[in-house]
Structure 1
């Protein structure tokens, strides 16, 4: 199962949902897709399950079950997937598209990509390449110490 998550921002993130929906409709994604669409206006036609929002516990459960998570470049979403060693495809929100006030997500995901912790998709073609890498067995690089750091950060954020 592929989990698509746009996070909890007041702004929608239709770009990532639309890309995955199109790839699913073209038959390029075979796995079941569950999409959290948030406040977005785009209504997927090809994914199997969609919802606007759910509980943190449900997002954690879906992260554990997913073979891959496709999401914005927010650190909370990334850390959750790293905690479970779930392959993560980051699609950073872009300032030039009005998706964010700056491009800090681009900077964040590029660093994590260089460390082998996430894959980065900027458009439909690179998304397909990332999905194919995950299907070929790509896994995020994790270490015992980084797993502990992720858990510490998650505990801190839960306060």
Structure 2
């Protein structure tokens, strides 16, 4: 699995409760553009409508060398999931405060896959706590490295 794109804001803004792997229905020029790395899922989210799951806000730039047919960059794309997965995601998205967020896009067996996470929104206090915890861990790692360096001399 080689990673194509990640949504770095997702883990900052949401507590990820569950992750699901989904295929993406793409046109030919979209696949070629994804191969070149022209994909952005920073604002992407999923929604279940009429028994199918769709991805909104995924930006795949047009393929420059396309001859006659070009795709729309921010079109709605259908996600390929089993019916029971779709129903589970629909039930999760109906709960208050939970949404379906695109976490990362990657290649798996020559197919583009996208990881969808069921996220519960973080408050500002939660975000501050995460930053504080991260800073404390970083400082502890520095102290540990300093301690280990002193022992080698």
- Compute the TM-score of the two structures, normalised by the length of structure 2: 0.23
- Compute the TM-score of the two structures, normalised by the length of structure 1: 0.23
Q: Greater relative contact order: 1 or 2 (C-alpha under 8 angstroms, separation 6 or more)?
A: 2
Structure with more helix by fraction: 1
Structure with more strand by fraction: 2
